Amino acid sequence: MLSCKKENNAPNNQVEKVAEEDFNPLKRERIEELKKKPQGATASEVASMRQQALSIINHRLKNGEESYAIIEADVWEYEFYFKGEMSKPGEYAGVWIDFKPDNTYEYGHLQDVQGAGRYSYQFDREELLMVDNKSNEKPQEWQVKAAGDAMVLVGTHIYKDNAIQMKLSRVKDTIRQ
């Protein structure tokens, strides 16, 4: 708000900064809600999410889900990861994920396999659903933006990944050796 008077009636050239949420009660209420919410999911939420995601994957596989070279050809190396802040260039060098034709995947760093899981890729919806084999890991769902040897994964709200984006590049299997 601008103030043109001081106590001595002289003009005031300073501007008081008032936050937008002070004028917008809905925005103020939403900010308060976000402050109260815990970060991440509880163990019971993760278990429920995993059960739901595995049920979806099993249903899709039972109905003859196809395999797509756009996902499974070669290995994907992480280039950038964004969650509120962009990763530094080279920070994910050698970190990879390998999608297999049998709807499984492995991930790791150079020759070290650090984990595995199951996935479902819906080509028509450009949607990738992933469930790690580790029972304490929540599922992940991504919108896939693929172009040749580059792929961008944009998190969805279903499993609380909507604040995450990442860019991967197709590399040869030799990254794992």
Does residue 1 form part of some domain?
A: no
Q: Residue 65 — pLDDT band, cuts 50, 70, 90?
A: confident
Does residue 20 form part of some domain?
A: no
Using CA atoms, how far apart are residues 52 and 128, in angstroms rounded to an integer?
15
Domain count, the chain: 1
**pLDDT for 30:** 55
The pLDDT tens digits for 77-88 are 999 999 989 999
- Which of 85, 94, 128 lies closest to 113 in space, CA to CA? 94
38 pLDDT exceeds 50? no
**β-pairing, 127-132 with 140-147?**
antiparallel
What pTM did the predictor assign? 0.75
Task: Take residue 115 and report the two structure tokens written for it.
Answer: 């984990």
CATH number of the structural domain spanning residue 151: 2.40.128.270
